[in-house]
Amino acid sequence: MLAPMERTQIQQRLQPTLERLTQKAERLRKGQPLPEAFLQSLNHKLLIELTHGSTAIEGNTLTLRETQLLIDEGITPQGAKHLREIHETLNHHRAVVRLQEWVTAGKTCNVQDVCLLHRVVLQSIDDERSGTFRTERVLVTGAPQQPIRPERIAEEMSALFDWIKSTELHPVLIASEAHYKFVKIHPFYDGNGRTARLLMNWSLLSNGYPLTVIPAEARARYITSIDDADRGHPLEFFQLLCECVESSLDQYLAS
C-alpha cells in the first residue's frame, strides 16, 4: 500500500476531482431511471471497450472493431492473429460478465473469487497455473520495482483485501490503490494486469460507479504512471484513473 503521507498528498491534490466524481455518481444514482435499452447498450459498449483496452495494454493486437465482432458475432479476425489473442479477448469478456453478476448478487471483493476470475482470464492459455499463486520469483524487465517474493504473496493478498474492506477512503482512491498494490504483489505468473483492472472495476461497481475503461490509447501513459508510482510519484497514476472513471460517468449522464 502507499505510505500514509503519499496517500494524504494524493487525496489533497485530487480533492476537487474526487468531489466532482462524487457529485456525478450521486446525480446518476438519483436521476430519472434511464431506458433499459439504453442502459444495456451503453453497458455493452463499455464492456467491449474495457476488454479491448485491457488486453491491448498487455500487447494484444486486435482492434476495437475486431474485438466487437469476435465477442458479438463470433467472427475471428482476418490475418495472422494468434489463437492466444482470441482466447485473451473472449476470456476477458467472460470475466467481466461474471464480475457484473457477482456485483449484482452483492458479492464483495475477496481473494478466492479473484483467483476464480484469474482462472477465467487464462482459460485455454495456462490452465495449469491459472488461479493459483506463483511459487517462484519473477522479474519485470525495466520496472523500477520488482514483484515481491512468492513466500509473501498470501500474506500480502490477505492484507490487501482486509484493507479494501476496512478503509474509509474515497471509492475511486480505494479502487485505484487496490489496482496498484495488486500489480506490485504480482501474485500470478501471467495475467496480473488484466486481473488488477478487473479488481479495480469490482471495487468501483460495488460502490455505485460504472464500468471504467483504461483505453488502449492511454497505454503508454498508464505504464509510465505505474513506473512513476514505483519511483515515489504516484499522483499521475491516480489522476489517470480518475479521468477514466469520469469518462464513464459522463457517458451515462449525457443521456
Predicted local distance difference test score (pLDDT) of residue 189: 97
Q: List the one residue out of 42, 48, 61 whose CA is nearest residue 96.
A: 48
Structural domain boundaries enclosing 56: 36-132+142-253
Q: What pLDDT, on the 0 to 100 scale, is given for residue 35?
A: 87
Per-residue confidence in pLDDT tens, the chain, 255 aa: 788 888 999 999 999 999 999 999 999 999 878 889 999 999 999 999 999 999 999 999 999 999 999 999 999 998 778 899 999 999 999 999 999 999 999 999 999 999 999 999 999 999 999 999 999 999 998 889 999 999 999 999 999 999 999 999 999 999 999 999 999 999 999 999 999 999 999 999 999 999 999 999 999 999 999 999 999 999 999 999 999 999 999 999 997
Going from the C-alpha of 244 to that of each of 102, 197, 217, 250, the distances in angstroms are: 22, 12, 12, 10
Candidate list 52, 118, 179, 186, residue with the active-site label: 186
Answer whether residue 44 is part of any domain: yes
Does a structural domain hold residue 236?
yes
Q: State the pLDDT at residue 175.
A: 98
Is 179 catalytic? The answer is no
pLDDT of residue 82: 87
Here the CATH number for the domain that contains residue 96 is 1.10.3290.10
Is residue 22 in a domain? no
**pTM for the structure as a whole:** 0.96
Domain membership of residue 67 (yes or no) is: yes
Q: Specify if 237 maps to a domain.
A: yes
CA–CA separation, 3 and 253 (whole Å): 35
Burial class (CB in 10 A: 0-12, 13-18, 19+), 175: buried
pLDDT of residue 50: 98
Domain count of the chain? 1
Q: Does a structural domain hold residue 10?
A: no
Query: What pLDDT does 170 receive?
Result: 97
